[in-house]
Structure 1
Amino acid sequence: MLDHLVQCRYDGTVTTLTAPTPREHELLATAAREFATAGFEHASLNAVIRACGMSKSSFYHRFDSKQALFDRVVDEAAAALAHELAAPDPAELAGPNFWPRLEAFVTHAVAALAKPAWYADLGKLFYLPDVSAERSAAMRRLLAGVDGWVQAVLKAGRSCGAVRDDLPASLQAELAFAMLQAMDRWSVAHMDDMKPAQRRRMASAQLGTLRRLLAP
């Protein structure tokens, strides 16, 4: 899972969300699992409300629709994942250790994602067949953040000679982003079938494939 292992930077800035209360955390975690299991359209708000022991009036005081709840789940999951992973500042990657630093980050990310955590459902939410970035403002923000980070990483790599510069930067970024999304989609679909050691090898192989595309 490479394409969402980055800090959530929206439009060049870091979006800060108010930390959820324990009650809100329970609601978000329950909703994340419901969406990940049932999909967006078939997810049951009543099931979420019952599981959290809430009244409907209390729920609708917080969220006026299923879409609003979904977007809040994505925003909070992305923020929690960003905090856990602490993706490196792209500018700090420039130098002779560009690729080893990226590999160290991926290794750390795979280990972090192996820990039981509610926000681990983010990958599944991102590839639900019945919801898209066109429909979800939170997913658009997340995509923009990932895209911006990838472009900044490539710029840092090009500046130090670790990334080839024979292609226009914009084309190179599109190719890299498309490959990352394809890898991530496959990984999310097969994550539950892989043991930790297999996940590490797969992440390393994915980064190696990306490096063969991008390195001079």
Structure 2
Amino acid sequence: MGSRTVGELPPRRRRALLESAAREFAGAGYQRASLNRVIRANGMSKSSFYHYFDSKEALFDAVVTEAGRALVEAVDLPDATELAGPDFWDRIARLLDQLLALAERGELFTSLGRMFYLPDAPAGEDGALSRARAGVDDWLTRALEAGRSAGAVRDDLPPSLQARLALAVLWAMDEWSVTHLPELDADELGRLAAAQLDAIRRLLSP
């Protein structure tokens, strides 16, 4: 039985609550995150909070779901099949640039990135985090298929093996970048992103 929301806040108050919850989860981790701090920061009582969310997990799932949806909308994410063309790597580079820009100015998206790698986050298959990771994996796998069909990605490995290798490398790069983001200025972050894209191209290009 999954967690659930039990009411609906006005949009502006809901966004403020989810943003403060994202900061709390990203900074303290799931288990140590304090609902009391989130509730106080939003001028709510416990009874009013539990009118809208039945648990900490329900709040966590709402943050992941809505921040993830906002991220997809902010980068205007194309369907992976649309990448099948001669500009495959150029389009991947432009998408990476958009994600970098959001990381530099969007605290909600930075917090979401940290939440993806919390060791104590809810890990159930029906949870928002598991669904989000599965969605990312599915998009990346289909993007690889599009790159193969366009001749931009090597085809000398079985597709399933190639996908596992690429996903493992991409998730490792992302986790390192999210963890070290506070230590990097804009120039360093840009150079790191360029180096990561170059490493992926060398891994995958024919």
Give the TM-score normalised by structure 2. 0.91
Looking at secondary structure, tell me which structure has more helix per residue: 2
Counterpart of 1:87 in 2: which secondary structure? Answer: coil
Unaligned runs of 5+ residues in structure 1 are 1-17
Q: Distance in 1 between matches of 2:61 and 2:87?
A: 37
Q: Are residue 43 (structure 1) and residue 39 (structure 2) matched?
A: no
Give the TM-score normalised by structure 1. 0.87
Q: How large is the Cα RMSD of the aligned pairs?
A: 1.7
Do 2:83 and 2:143's aligned partners in 1 also have CA atoms closer than 8 Å?
yes
State the one-letter code of the partner of 2:123: A
- Counterpart position of 1:209: 199
Q: Are residue 189 (structure 1) and residue 179 (structure 2) matched?
A: yes
Q: Distance in 1 between matches of 2:131 and 2:161?
A: 21
Task: Report the CA distance between 1:111 and its aligned residue.
Answer: 1.5
Q: Of 161, 178, 184, which aligns to 1:171? A: 161
Counterpart of 1:75 in 2: which secondary structure? Answer: helix
- Counterpart position of 1:156: 146
Unaligned runs of 5+ residues in structure 2 are 1-7
Q: Of 88, 92, 95, which aligns to 1:105? A: 95
Inter-CA distance 136–71: structure 2 relative to 1 (3 Å threshold): farther
- Counterpart position of 1:89: 79
Q: Distance in 1 between matches of 2:199 and 2:205?
A: 10
Counterpart of 1:111 in 2: which secondary structure? Answer: helix
- Counterpart position of 1:143: 133
Q: Distance in 1 between matches of 2:56 and 2:9?
A: 21
**How many residues get paired?**
199
- Where relative contact order (Cα < 8 A, 6+ residues apart) is larger, the structure is 1
Q: Percent of pairs identical after alignment?
A: 54
- Counterpart position of 1:180: 170
Task: Report the CA distance between 1:30 and its aligned residue.
Answer: 0.9
